[in-house]
Structure 1
Amino acid sequence: MAYCHLLVCILLCSSYYSIVLAVNLNKFAVVPATSSDPNRASVPLVHRHGPCAPSAASGKPSLAERLRRDRARANYIVTKAAGRTAATTLSDTAAGDGGGTSIPAFLGDSVDSLEYVVTLGIGTPAVQQTVLIDTGSDLSWVQCKPCDAGECYAQKDPLFDPSSSSSYASIPCNSDACRKLEAGSYGHGCTSVSGGASLCEYGIEYGNRATTTGVYSTETLTLKPGVVVASFGFGCGDHQHGPYDKFDGLLGLGGAPESLVSQTSSQFGGPFSYCLPPTSGGAGFLALGAPNSRSNAAAGFSFTPMRRIPSVPTFYVVTLTGISVGGEPLAIPPSAFSSGMVIDSGTVITGLPATAYAALRSAFRSAMSEYRLLPPSNGVLDTCYDFTGHTNVTVPKVALTFSGGATIDLAVPAGVLVDGCLAFAGAGTDNTIGIIGNVNQRTFEVLYDSGKGIVGFRAGAC
């Protein structure tokens, strides 16, 4: 049965790529997934609704609904960073090639636009949980028993039962860990349980007003067989409300102390990376730890300085310096990019400052003038095309250039178009911070190294 499931995945992936190559033979290249690096801890990453997802959900939301959620998320990020965009460039301190791990990662397309999932083990014995990955938030959580009727959304897998785990521990209210949580963004006071104990409670409200609350706890996290994170701080959620899909929880990869990245920095060194697959049948990875400097995985990166917002440690910020369409640089003043761009795995559509987006839209429409431009219909994307009757479609390459000279050619069409629409939108005035969404990141290994103060891009990684 497992063999047949794998065969179906391979056939579906192969069929997709054949279609893409027929549409855009000279613009898009199929590349193998990254090879295993013994120096890192890695797990697979796949499409949430794809045939290879371990916990596929039915009833995929419409494009309009997904874009509505995406816009809500983007607005939340911009609002949170507004007035606090005077980011500081980190010093170029060395980070060692410590041991790491890599986890398969998969693309999904629903629920607050947090598109990609990995499957991990939680508890002792380990119970598999499929969770969304998110660089735009920090505290990880899963839904836990007991959940009163209507207090938890329906998920594909059974709820995690902390009473069945020998390594689970709730965090007392009057503890240093709870006080630190309360001092950050995720504290929610205390909750009383049977027996009179007062436990630490967490609370999160996302950009689309979805909420989760529960008991702040520690547990053993199994990234893959033999790779374990002990006493991992997470939220054991017993009250969830909002537009959630059937995933089991969320894995926070932001820069604050509560994130998986921060909690495992002594174990894996701090750097982490992922490769987001371009299709629902494709597989990518989430890796903790830096590539070994002597490995093939360390070659081929282009780096740009990472900036941080001191008052909002969650976000990773980079600086765009230019955009080109069809090999032609656009006339965009540097001031248009001065506020920086949050690079985010959970936002779908890239939001550009007004001047930059106007220049990109004009050049892209000009290059696509032979195709019928559709009227805006979803409230977010305004450059969509009807390709009916066209056997071959020529899409111009779009390249992004960052401070330090790093230039990435976005995958065509997977990194440029979403359902026939340009995967960019205007994000307000030129003094508004922008967001680089996950569509533009597809097929690249994106490496975050806060110790060195850099973000790296390696093309063709998945």
Structure 2
Amino acid sequence: MVRGRVRRVSYLASILGNGNSIGANRNQTRPHIEHESKSADVKVPGTTSTHYVGPVEYVASFTIGTQQIQSYLVIDTGSDLVWWQCEPFADDGCYNQHDPLYDSTTSGTYETLDCFAKSESCFTSDEVVCWHSTRECLYDVIYEEGSRTRVWIAEDTITFVLDQNQEKILFGCGKDQMGGVQSFGPEYSGIAGIGRRELSGGYSLPSQFGADIMAMCLSGIDSQRSTLSFHTTPFEKTISAELLPDPSNPEFYYVDLYKVFINDKEITLNPSIWNFRNAIDYSCLVDTGTAATYFPRDFYNVFRNTFRQEVQNIRLVNGPRPGGFDTCYRVDPGVVPNFPVVKMYFGHQDPNNPASHGTR
């Protein structure tokens, strides 16, 4: 499932106006006030465990509410909302999940957000509005591949499973997850948006915790588990690439990509495309919720042709494949293929040491 960046919804009223409990043709208001981070003055919580669930997803483990419902949420740096499925549902609004379902009516710490009484916590946008008639802070998010979640923002406690730190957070109480063209997977009960911290408002976990440091290790397929931390990292410091901000999209993470090799052949990068600071819209978005890495078309064509030239004695499958992939190979059973080595260098090159690289 390729989740990617969320698709912006311009007219939430028309999307929600379907006659159900959310309400049809109701007037909406968007308070325009200066928001402050809900938890900027609290201690950043600790560490929870992460797991690889495949084929491309990593999940973080939390327990939710006073019932301590065990939940796995997809870790997504490409979005800024935390949500999970929330009983009772709208008609046919629930997708099948392996975890126990969270029921807001049984949690003693659950509270629906009143967007009038707590207007500073209803961060209005194309996806979130304060609904005048019910005073509910409604959200409707459609992800890039077409999956969708919606209803209202609420508050409840989550517990980090490794150190048992507990925090009350704002989250999307998902009453309807079946309105999109794609469904969510049964391996998780929602998504943990961990987009970059916003200094003024924001629903991502770093924004709510006031966390400037986040450490996450993406474990291998065969690994049992790893960790996600919002205060300190349990790993030794290694070569790193700076995560860069984009003022027009402050919730996302970006990184410079400055060298690409296929075996020993360097694929030339056009500085007008790849220099982040000179062309901010063309740098690399870091998104743990996306399965594939995408290049600009002109660069991809050169990359693809060079890769094909380097492949020896492996049959190319003719024609495009599902997902738009145009360079796929057929490998005979029992044969271990020898594909070219692709190296991508992120960060920047030390001007005092031209032979140096960032991280790859």
Q: SS state of the match for residue 322, structure 1?
A: strand
Question: Which amino acid counterpart does residue 147 of structure 1 have in structure 2?
Answer: F
Q: SS state of the match for residue 308, structure 1?
A: coil
Match 1:245 to one of 185, 188, 192: 185
Question: Which amino acid counterpart does residue 361 of structure 1 have in structure 2?
Answer: R
- Structure 1 pair 133–124 and aligned structure 2 pair: CA distance change class (3 A): same
Question: Which amino acid counterpart does residue 324 of structure 1 have in structure 2?
Answer: F
Counterpart position of 2:18: none
Counterpart position of 2:96: 154
Counterpart position of 2:155: 218
Match 1:359 to one of 302, 316, 319: 302
- Structure 1 pair 168–144 and aligned structure 2 pair: CA distance change class (3 A): same
Counterpart position of 1:395: 339
Report if the CA contact (8 A) 1:220-1:232 is conserved: yes
Report if the CA contact (8 A) 1:399-1:408 is conserved: no
Superposed displacement of residue 281, structure 1 = 6.1
Report if the CA contact (8 A) 2:85-2:174 is conserved: yes
**CA distance in 2 between partners of 1:75 and 1:335 (Å):** 26
Say whether residues 1:300 and 2:300 are aligned partners. no
Say whether residues 1:309 and 2:251 are aligned partners. no
**CA distance in 2 between partners of 1:179 and 1:287 (Å):** 24
Superposed displacement of residue 346, structure 1 = 0.8
Say whether residues 1:271 and 2:213 are aligned partners. yes
Report if the CA contact (8 A) 2:194-2:206 is conserved: yes
- Structure 1 pair 204–359 and aligned structure 2 pair: CA distance change class (3 A): same
Superposed displacement of residue 122, structure 1 = 0.8
Say whether residues 1:131 and 2:76 are aligned partners. no
Question: Which amino acid counterpart does residue 303 of structure 1 have in structure 2?
Answer: A
**CA distance in 2 between partners of 1:175 and 1:327 (Å):** 62
Q: SS state of the match for residue 123, structure 2?
A: helix
Question: Aligned runs of 1:11-30 on 2, under 5 Å?
Answer: none
Match 2:267 to one of 330, 335, 344: 330
- Structure 1 pair 366–285 and aligned structure 2 pair: CA distance change class (3 A): farther
Counterpart position of 2:173: 236
Per-residue CA deviation, residues 128-176 of structure 1 (Å, 9 max, x unaligned), is 1111111111111111111133122222233211222222122112034
Superposed displacement of residue 384, structure 1 = 1.4
Superposed displacement of residue 276, structure 1 = 2.2
Question: Which amino acid counterpart does residue 317 of structure 1 have in structure 2?
Answer: Y
**CA distance in 2 between partners of 1:367 and 1:100 (Å):** 48
Superposed displacement of residue 244, structure 1 = 1.9
Report if the CA contact (8 A) 1:190-1:198 is conserved: yes
Counterpart position of 1:370: 313
What 5-or-longer segments of structure 1 have no aligned partner? 1-65, 78-97, 410-462
Superposed displacement of residue 209, structure 1 = 3.2
Question: Which amino acid counterpart does residue 160 of structure 1 have in structure 2?
Answer: Y
**CA distance in 1 between partners of 2:337 and 2:146 (Å):** 39
Report if the CA contact (8 A) 2:262-2:341 is conserved: yes
Match 1:254 to one of 195, 198, 202: 195
- Structure 1 pair 389–159 and aligned structure 2 pair: CA distance change class (3 A): closer
Superposed displacement of residue 381, structure 1 = 1.5
Counterpart position of 1:188: 129
**CA distance in 2 between partners of 1:191 and 1:285 (Å):** 41
**CA distance in 2 between partners of 1:234 and 1:332 (Å):** 41
When structure 1 is superposed on structure 2, of 344-353 and 283-292 the one drifting more is: 283-292
Match 2:60 to one of 111, 114, 118: 118
Superposed displacement of residue 279, structure 1 = 1.9
Question: Which amino acid counterpart does residue 388 of structure 1 have in structure 2?
Answer: D
Question: Which amino acid counterpart does residue 236 of structure 1 have in structure 2?
Answer: C
Give the share of equivalent positions with the same residue, in percent: 27
Q: SS state of the match for residue 152, structure 1?
A: coil
Match 1:342 to one of 262, 285, 295: 285
Question: Aligned runs of 1:422-441 on 2, under 5 Å?
Answer: none
**CA distance in 2 between partners of 1:235 and 1:302 (Å):** 33
Question: Aligned runs of 1:76-115 on 2, under 5 Å?
Answer: 76=7, 101-109=46-54, 115=57
What 5-or-longer segments of structure 2 have no aligned partner? 9-42, 276-281, 350-356
**CA distance in 1 between partners of 2:6 and 2:45 (Å):** 34
Report if the CA contact (8 A) 1:253-1:261 is conserved: yes
**CA distance in 1 between partners of 2:241 and 2:4 (Å):** 27
**CA distance in 2 between partners of 1:237 and 1:317 (Å):** 29
Counterpart position of 1:60: none
Q: SS state of the match for residue 245, structure 2?
A: strand
TM-score, normalisation: structure 2: 0.75
Question: Which amino acid counterpart does residue 63 of structure 2 have in structure 1?
Answer: G
Per-residue CA deviation, residues 197-218 of structure 1 (Å, 9 max, x unaligned), is 6332222222233322222111
Aligned residue pairs total: 304
Report if the CA contact (8 A) 1:178-1:187 is conserved: no
Question: Which amino acid counterpart does residue 245 of structure 1 have in structure 2?
Answer: G
TM-score, normalisation: structure 1: 0.60
**CA distance in 1 between partners of 2:327 and 2:224 (Å):** 26
Report if the CA contact (8 A) 1:399-1:407 is conserved: no
